[in-house]
Amino acid sequence: GDGAGNGLHQLNYPTDVLIDKETDSLIICDRWNRRVVRWSRRSGTTQGEILIDNTDCYGLAMDEQRYLYVSDVGKNEVRRYQLGEKNGTLVAGGNGKGDGLNQLSFPTYLFVNRDHSVYVSDSSNNRVIKWNKGAKEGVVIAGGQGEGSALTQLNDPSGLFVDTLGTLYVTEALNHRVMRWTQGDKKLGTVIVGGNGEGAGANQFNGTVGLSVDRHGNLCC
């Protein structure tokens, strides 16, 4: 609420946020300031602290061991950080911009499973790709068939969630819909919400981006 800027009391185009319950704080990807910051949720907090700087961050995720995962759209990679660490460990991409299985192109949102595999919305490649822990290349889970609105395609995949059965849910900003891809079916997804063009109708979305799931299993977009 202090306007856009680079002060510690300011943000400039934040793209993702998560709650660190252990420290009762928000961890925010402050994209245009090229940093990841932490803000305490306690009353009286007037500024944040920088956790990671000099990163073209876009998406964030945290695993059960409190390792932080950050996508970097400039380096086309995802890194894992122990809180307090500045350099991190490469876990996906890092081989230049491209559509190879060892590459990413404008990686945005992330989901980390209990086995520490990382799901990446590889937005410019119009696919979701999964990198197992320690892998040198990923596996395409959804899309990767070019830009489009067919059930085999994605168009600017964004927020994502994977349930305990391995079913992927992903929003598409430019197709204005939420898709479901079941484990083992890499070719064909199912529209579960939207897909009726851009609009304000009860069956429509306008640039669907974020996705979360509440404790009852309800999808929130």
Q: The domain that contains 99 carries what CATH number?
A: 2.120.10.30
Whether residue 27 lies inside any domain: the answer is: no
Q: What is the pLDDT of residues 109-134, one digit of tens each?
A: 999 999 999 999 999 999 999 999 99
Whether the per-residue pLDDT at 18 is higher than 70: the answer is yes
Three-class HEC string of the chain: CCCECCCCCCECCEEEEEEECCCCEEEEEEHHHCEEEEEECCCCCCCCEEEEECCCEEEEEECCCCEEEEEECCCCEEEEEECCCCCCEEEEECCCECCCCCCECCEEEEEECCCCCEEEEEHHHCEEEEECCCCCCCEEEEECCCECCCCCCECCEEEEEECCCCCEEEEECCCCEEEEECCCCCCCCEEEEECCCECCCCCCECCCCCCEECCCCCEEC
Whether residue 204 lies inside any domain: the answer is: yes
pLDDT at 211: 78
Whether residue 26 lies inside any domain: the answer is: no
| 74-83, 160-169, 175-184: range with lowest mean pLDDT | 175-184
Whether residue 5 lies inside any domain: the answer is: no
Supply the range of the domain harboring residue 129.
55-220
% of the chain residues with pLDDT over 70: 94
Number of domains in the chain: 1
Whether residue 43 lies inside any domain: the answer is: no
Whether residue 6 lies inside any domain: the answer is: no
Whether the per-residue pLDDT at 202 is higher than 70: the answer is no
